[in-house]
Amino acid sequence: MKNLAPMPFLLLTTALLTLASCTTTVDYAPRYPVVAENTSTKLLGNFIELYPREFKAVHRIVFAIRSREFDFTGYFLMRRPETYHAAAYAEAGAPVFEFQNLPTKSMVFKKPDIFSEQEIIEGVMQDLLHLYRKQDKQIAVLVDKTPNERTFTFGTPETVINEFTIDLQKGLVRSLTAMEGKVIRTVEYSEPKAFPKWRTKIPTRIKVKNLAFGYELAIDVVEFHPELPSTFDQMMLQP
Is 142 within 8 Å of 152 (Cβ atoms)?
Answer: yes
**CA-to-CA distance for 141 and 13, rounded, in angstroms?**
42
| 117 or 220: CB nearest other proteins | 220
Catalog residues that contact other proteins under the rule CB under 8 A: 56, 58, 60, 62, 64-65, 67-71, 73, 75, 77, 85, 87, 89-96, 113-114, 218, 220, 222-223, 228-229, 231-233, 236
Q: How far is the CB of 239 from other proteins (least distance, A)?
A: 15
Question: Pairing between strand 160-167 and 95-101?
Answer: unpaired
Residue 154's nearest CA partner among 125, 169, 175, 170 is 175
| 180 or 220: CB nearest other proteins | 220
Q: How far is the CB of 118 from other proteins (least distance, A)?
A: 19
| 3 or 234: CB nearest other proteins | 234
| 45 or 95: CB nearest other proteins | 95
List beta partners, residue 164: 152, 175
Q: How far is the CB of 190 from other proteins (least distance, A)?
A: 10
List beta partners, residue 107: 100
Residue 161's nearest CA partner among 175, 176, 144, 178 is 178
**CA-to-CA distance for 215 and 233, rounded, in angstroms?**
33
Q: How far is the CB of 236 from other proteins (least distance, A)?
A: 6
Q: How far is the CB of 225 from other proteins (least distance, A)?
A: 9
**CA-to-CA distance for 159 and 174, rounded, in angstroms?**
21
| 111 or 150: CB nearest other proteins | 111
List beta partners, residue 58: 75, 223
